Amino acid sequence: MSADCCPRPRSPWADRPAGSALQLSAEERSVSAPEKILFVTGKLSVASLREVVEPIAARLGFSFEVAVPGVQVAALLHTGLLRSRLKIDAEIDRVIVPGWVQGDLEELAEYFGRPFDRGPKDLHDLPEYFGLGKRKKAALDRYSIEIIGEINHATRMPLEAVISSAQSMAAAGANVIDVGCVPGESCDRVGEIVAELRQCDLRVSVDSFDQQEVRQAVSAGAELILSCNHSNLDWVTKLGTEVVVIPDTPSDQESLDRLIDSVSAAGIPFRIDPIIEPIGMGFTRSLERYMTMRRRYPQLAMMMGVGNVTELTEVDSAGVNMLLAAICEELGIQSVLTTQVINWCRTAVAEFDVARRLVHYAVTNQVIPKHINSSLTMLRDSRLNQQTDNALNSLADALTDANFRIFAEASGLHLMNRGRHVSGENPFDVFAEVLQEQSVDAGHAFYLGYEMARAEVCRLLGKQYRQDEPIDFGVAGQLPGSASVHHDLP
């Protein structure tokens, strides 16, 4: 610890035993001295903790000490152990313990005579804990865009499969389930499908130009018909159910104007869809049509079939959904039609559910959608907490047991235990080098292989690797770790 620029006043605690529960009076504390904080951690994290805390202390103007109450890892700490083992210097003003610590910190505060605070579980989150760059957690409970999740070719699927797909979409965020029929076919099962979906308390739309199919769906409880143009205007407007009005062809916006007049005269509810076209087929022109129609009809409800872009563009769909959601939010497009047919769109509904909440929050609060929610950063994490070579070497030197620690860093894959620190780019070479000096049983070899494979995935994609802990892929889910399995070596 560096010396102060001027001598510190002698603390009245100096002659009291460490760990005393007596309280300092206000007169005993010097207002001129900076706050002194004691950080508690495990032995293996001391070097990393100092690296993280030193710039924070310099910026905020406090001094600090680090205490290790006789444990290797912070996750083993609890209040009973701290009460019996922790020794606190007389000049300490408060104590910060890792977020892993179990028990009532008020008991420790009363016993030791100074405040105890529970910090983050990950020491690299300490800058945010101290308010350096931390934002208030955004409330993403509101949105303005309705998701219509289409089940393509539902009329060709077994009823059980339709129900399962619909429930999955609804759980992912779909507000309405669209029963997609097959163009050119006429199915007598549409009414049954809609009725079963309604029995599951799901809102339903039907996607068909076949009169028989649409009438079945409406009779069974469908609330929206996709779609209406001049080919079915004469009969679809007589059903009394809301319709999606589309142009006769995507480029024929004059036909959309005429249809709006006709449907308005019929007195039924409707929303318009100028039709977004795939990239390479007029995508930008079609976006312009949405803007034109919004200026022309500022009060009309509008829908966009975003699946025309996500399904027909060979790219991970999360970013595409985010951009399309932003366009819809800013243009006041209140509903989208999407689907999950092709593999890269397998989580499209969940992605758009997050996206619509993010863009609504951003537009409403006039902020950029950054550091609000990381659910759509599926392949890469928003930030990485990398260990320096010095920190890794210090950690390796401090290890006293045979259990392996694994780190995935820019400098390579690191595997270390007592007296051994092997690193490299190739996990097979790293493991082979370990086997030259230490035998590993089959169970532990499997464990190391699984964990090193997960570490390599993180290095490839740019994700944070934490040994034994799940890898988070946002709305796509998690890759399990090995935390529930013990792999202790003698």
Phi, psi of 177, deg, nearest 5: -105, 125
Q: Tell me the pLDDT of the chain averaged across its residues.
A: 88
Residue with structure tokens 């959904």? 321
Residues 6+ apart with CB under 8 A from 70: 81, 85
The residue ranges of every structural domain in the chain are: 26-129, 146-365, 389-479
Coil, strand or helix: which one is 473?
A: coil
Mean pLDDT of 224-235: 96
User: 139-154: buried (b, 16+ CB within 10 Å) or exposed (e) per residue?
Assistant: ebeebbbbbbbbbbeb
Q: Which amino acid, 314?
A: E
Q: What is the mean pLDDT of residues 358-366?
A: 89
Place of tokens 């002698």: 10
Query: Is the pLDDT at 488 greater than 90, yes or no?
Result: no
Q: What is the CATH T-level fold of the domain 146-365, as seen in this structure?
A: TIM Barrel (3.20.20)
* Each residue's pLDDT tens digit, 10-33: 222 233 333 333 333 444 444 457
In 3D space, the residue among 322, 327, 333, 343 whose CA is nearest the CA of residue 297 turns out to be 333
DSSP assignments along 33-61, one per residue = SPPEEEEE--GGGHHHHHHHHHHHHHHHT
The one-letter amino acid code at 119 reads: G
Q: What is the pLDDT of residue 485?
A: 64
Q: What is the pLDDT of residue 26?
A: 40
Q: How many Å apart are CA 290 and CA 270, to the nearest integer?
A: 16
Burial of 53 (0-12, 13-18, 19+ CB in 10 A): buried
Q: Is the dihedral of CA 437, 441, 447, 450 positive or negative?
A: positive
Residue range 408-453, pLDDT digits in tens: 998 899 999 888 899 999 999 999 998 888 888 888 899 999 999 9
> Which residues lie across from 336 on neighbouring strands?
147, 304
Write the pLDDT tens digit of every residue in 91-104: 999 999 999 898 99
- At the second CATH level, the architecture of 26-129 is 3-Layer(aba) Sandwich (3.40)
Q: What is the pLDDT of residue 20?
A: 34
pLDDT the model gives residue 386: 85
Angle, in degrees to the nearest 10, between helices 348-365 and 317-331: 40
User: Cβ(228)–Cβ(237) under 8 Å?
Assistant: yes
DSSP letters spanning 310-357: HTTS-S-HHHHHHHHHHHHHHHT--EEEEE--SGGGTTHHHHHHHHHH
pLDDT at res. 482: 85
Q: What are the tens digits of pLDDT across the range 103-141?
A: 999 999 999 999 999 999 888 788 889 988 665 577 899
Cβ neighbours for 18, distance < 8 A, ≥ 6 positions apart: 87, 88, 89, 90
What CA–CA distance (Å, rounded) separates 94 from 115?
5
Within 8 A by CB and 6+ apart from 184, the residues are none
pLDDT in tens, 372-392: 889 999 999 988 888 888 888
What would the pLDDT profile of 24-73 be if each residue is shown by its tens digit?
344 444 445 789 999 999 888 888 889 889 999 999 999 999 999 988 87
How many residues are there in the chain?
A: 490
